Amino acid sequence: MLSKYEKELIASIWERLTPVAKDIGSEALSRMFATFPGTKTYFSHLDISLRSPHLLAHGKKIVLALVEGSKDISSLTTTLAPLQTLHAYQLRIDPTNFKLFSHCMLVTLACNMGDRFTPVAHAAMDKYLSAFAAVLAEKYR
């Protein structure tokens, strides 16, 4: 459950990160590949070395989707409908991996925001990422 305050906090964090979407996104992915090597199996078709063009582009895509979702969190299912279809029928990423990515995104935010990533911001963001992941997996079965 996200309060009005938390929704605004989440939206403002993502808005501020939009200009550095590719940096935040690729960093989170790199952290995930290093910490959870099994996740690399979904990326055999890309060059996922640190800050590669593929990784920067892919990271940017992911963060921009997170930004978009944050603008109206109560309408996540509508906003993410095309991504739901993509993940369910084409990508078919095992949903456990969403948790792993979310954790690495939280670590990325902590590294880049320092003290501003307060426990309250952390809790709100964790809830948002969980809700986002749940919506992404909705069409799986």
Interface positions with another protein (CB under 8 A): 27, 30-31, 33-35, 50, 103-104, 106-108, 110-115, 117-120, 122-123, 126
Q: How far apart are CA 90 and CA 113, in angstroms?
A: 34
| Shortest Cβ 55–another protein spacing (Å) | 11
Nearer to another protein, 70 or 108 (CB): 108
Task: Give the residue ranges of DSSP H helices in 18-72.
Answer: 21-35, 53-70
Nearer to another protein, 65 or 121 (CB): 121
| Shortest Cβ 98–another protein spacing (Å) | 15
Nearer to another protein, 55 or 80 (CB): 55
CB 46 within 8 A of CB 59: no
Tokens of 87: 């993940």
| Cβ atoms within 10 Å, residue 48 | 19
